[in-house]
Each structure stands twice: as structure tokens, then as C-alpha cells.
Chain A
């Protein structure tokens, strides 16, 4: 049963990612990316990470993608960028190098990794909020604090970047 769900969800995730890259309309790209994030959240549930599945749906598919859609519609930038290609050979070379990267990654995924046996994993619940928060607030306390500073810097940076300067506003008025 888990195998069937995995393969169905994986196909949905890959198709959504491809549609995101290929779709000419940026709004459609954003919606396909939301579909991809939701199917990855299902995979998180299969990997026994229910807390991160919830975080994925609320933060990624919710907050971040709403921000994306908001900016796309604010700027009216959903039109296609296709047809304007100053370097003609760039796109085929990019696709070729992507295929090379995929073959390398696939080879590593199937041959390179030596993993411990997963039979002992069944009993442990590594993904519930209690376990995650006890690790987060003991072993990873310093990175957690640094993340809070990083988010503060991002907030200030966003405000500074999008603020029009006063002289400019006075000119327009």
C-alpha cells in the first residue's frame, strides 16, 4: 500500500515540477509548484514526518506561495518570457547538462549509498513534535537563535528594499 502511494505521489510531484518549468504563464507555474509541495508533503507523511508535512503545507504551500502569487499579480508579470533568447545554444546545453546531472544523481542514489537496515526504525517515532522540539531546543539551540536573527534581518531588508525614498515621493506629489 505504501509503495503504491509512493509511486503515485512521486509521479504527481514530477509532473507538477515539469509543468511548473514548462508553463508559459507564471501564475500557472506557481499553482503547479503548490501541487508539487503538497505531494511532497504526502511523501513526508510516508516518511513518518507528520510535523514537517504540516509545516510544508502551511509555510511552503501557504505562506511562501501566497507571497509569490501576490507579487506576480501585483507586478502583472505573468506573461511569457519565451521567444527572447539572446544566446541560442544556451537552452539545449542546459537541458543536456541537466540530463548528465540526473544520470549522476541516479547512479549515486542506486549504487553509492550504503544505508543501515531500516527494520529497527519501525518502533521509533522520530517525526512527532515532541521529539523534534527536544532535539531543536537542545542540540540545535544556537542555529535556532541564529535563524531568528536571520529572519529579523530579512524583515528589515524587505522593508528597506521596497521603501520609496521620501524625496522621490515628494516629487510625485
Chain B
């Protein structure tokens, strides 16, 4: 079984991460921005697992496990924040939530 090189996986991870970054920077819907953050976390996971295979150690996969748990906690709190913002302002557009702006 001829394997794909780790470099190809890291390059794919970099591409997905960049798409996530551009998504956070260009979109104004807070939910889509959240999903772009998830995409970035996921691309970091892909790089971690690729390195885990390259070094023949399980550590990278265990850290990926932690990243998934942290992402679950982050999504729960973030979506709760969105729901309470929506209750107060009836919007998920981040430009409309600028009450603190001087």
C-alpha cells in the first residue's frame, strides 16, 4: 500500500485552514463565522493526525480527541451566546452588535 506523503496532508490542512480564516474575515453572519472556526479546528486536527502517523505515535490522535471535546464545549457556549444576543437584538449579524463601540 503506497501511502500519501505527510506533506500532502499538511498542505490540504493549510488550504482548509485558509478557507476558514477567509470565512471568518468576510462573512457577517455570526453562525457562519462559527462554522468557519470549526473548519479551522478541523484542519488543525487533520495536521495533528498526519504528524501522528509520520511519527508512529498515538499522542497526536489523543490531542485531536481533546480538540474535539474543546470544540464541542465552545460550540455549546457560543451558540448559547448567539441565542441570547438574538433575543436582545433580533439579529445574528455581527455588525449590528456594536453597542460597546465608542
Residues facing A in B30-48 (CB within 8 A) are 31-32, 34-36, 38-39, 42, 45-46
Q: Does B84 contact A (CB under 8 A)?
A: yes
Given contacts A18-B19, A49-B49, A139-B59, contact A68 B35 (CB under 8 A): yes
Q: How far in angstroms is the closest Cβ of chain B from A60?
A: 7
> Residues of A contacting B81 with CB < 8 Å?
161
Q: Mark A56-86, 1 if CB is under 8 A from B, else 0.
A: 1001100110011001101101001100111
* Interface residues contributed by chain A, number (CB under 8 Å): 87
Contact size range, B: 35 or more
Q: Is the CB of B6 within 8 A of A157?
A: no
Q: Which of B1, B11, B26 contacts A110 (CB 8 A)?
A: B11
Q: Is the CB of B61 within 8 A of A113?
A: no
Residues facing B in A13-32 (CB within 8 A) are 13-14, 17-18, 20-21, 26, 29-30
Given contacts A6-B4, A64-B75, A158-B76, contact A113 B10 (CB under 8 A): yes
CA distance A55 to B32 in the complex (A): 23
Given contacts A75-B83, A135-B62, contact A84 B28 (CB under 8 A): yes
> Residues of A contacting B16 with CB < 8 Å?
13-14, 17, 36, 40
When C-beta atoms are compared, the residue in chain A nearest to B21 turns out to be A98
Q: Is the CB of A21 within 8 A of B23?
A: yes
CA distance A49 to B64 in the complex (A): 11
Q: Which of B57, B79, B84, B92 contacts A126 (CB 8 A)?
A: B57
> Residues of B contacting A56 with CB < 8 Å?
45, 68
Q: Which of B49, B62, B75, B84 contacts A47 (CB 8 A)?
A: B49
Q: How far in angstroms is the closest Cβ of chain A from B48?
A: 10
Known: A14-B12, A118-B54. 9 other contacts (CB 8 A): A17-B39, A21-B23, A47-B9, A77-B86, A81-B93, A99-B18, A101-B17, A105-B11, A150-B70
